[in-house]
């Protein structure tokens, strides 16, 4: 990709912190969409067991969502999982978009990469949620089939995945940077100057001027 310029780092910082400062006015809407996405994917009934995404009250400032795992045969057993849509979803998504938008590429390429970045960022969020829900089912040995069954994975591997993708906040930065490299490198290899790779070779070839005969 060549040398990374100071301009790139400045742009990433401006876009990232701009997105962070924009969180308060969009927090309620984003958290609501976060819960809707999680409920639509993991809230489907798996036998009698249930996974419910709920809104937390304002006094829980750090968390805005609670995932509740229940089973009707054990009404007194309600396994809660508090979640912050800001840390789990918003921050890594903003970082990935900042990296993509700050990368030097033509607008045609950028318009193709940005939707892919949004899809991959939400796929990462759903992976984190599925991992957390599956681990809760395994830890508390809840009845019913979990939306994500991790019981076949060794306990040590489960703990490692939980540390890397859920407990360790560094994944909020490592995963977006990895996804950015995955997205941008193929496009950069196809052509270094803007939309050069989108221009057919015959149109991009230098013109040959004929010398008029005397």
Segments making up each domain of the chain, as ranges: 6-41+85-198
Grade residue 98 by pLDDT with cuts at 50, 70 and 90.
Answer: very high
Instruction: Check if the beta carbon of residue 131 is closer than 8 Å to that of residue 146.
Output: no
Q: Report the candidate in 90, 47, 99 with the shortest Cα–Cα distance to residue 70.
A: 47
105 has a pLDDT exceeding 90: no
Q: Who wins on pLDDT, 194 or 183?
A: 183
201 has a pLDDT exceeding 60: no
Total-model pTM: 0.74
3-class secondary-structure state, position 85: helix
3-class secondary-structure state, position 166: helix
Grade residue 206 by pLDDT with cuts at 50, 70 and 90.
Answer: very low
Report the distance separating Cα 68 and Cα 99, nearest Å.
Answer: 34
126 has a pLDDT exceeding 70: yes
88 has a pLDDT exceeding 80: yes
Q: Report the candidate in 205, 21, 12, 7 with the shortest Cα–Cα distance to residue 97.
A: 12
Grade residue 148 by pLDDT with cuts at 50, 70 and 90.
Answer: low
């Amino acid at each position: 990709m060549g040398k990374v310029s100071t301009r790139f780092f400045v742009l990433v910082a401006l876009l990232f912190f701009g997105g962070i400062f924009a969180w308060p006015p969009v927090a309620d809407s984003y958290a609501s969409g976060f819960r809707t996405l999680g409920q639509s994917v993991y809230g489907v009934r798996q036998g009698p067991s249930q996974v419910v995404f709920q809104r937390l009250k304002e006094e829980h400032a750090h968390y805005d969502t609670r995932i509740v795992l229940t089973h009707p045969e054990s009404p007194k057993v309600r396994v809660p999982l508090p979640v912050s849509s800001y840390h789990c979803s918003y921050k890594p998504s903003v970082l990935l978009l900042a990296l993509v938008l700050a990368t030097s590429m033509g607008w045609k390429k950028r318009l193709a990469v940005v939707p892919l970045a949004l899809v991959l960022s939400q796929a990462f969020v759903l992976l984190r949620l599925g991992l957390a829900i599956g681990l809760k089912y395994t830890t508390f040995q809840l009845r019913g089939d979990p939306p994500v069954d991790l019981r076949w994975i060794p306990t040590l591997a489960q703990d490692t995945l939980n540390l890397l993708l859920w407990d360790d906040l560094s994944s909020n930065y490592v995963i977006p940077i990895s996804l950015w490299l995955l997205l941008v490198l193929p496009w950069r290899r196809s052509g270094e100057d803007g939309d050069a790779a989108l221009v057919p070779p015959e149109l991009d070839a230098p013109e040959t001027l004929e010398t008029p005969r005397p």
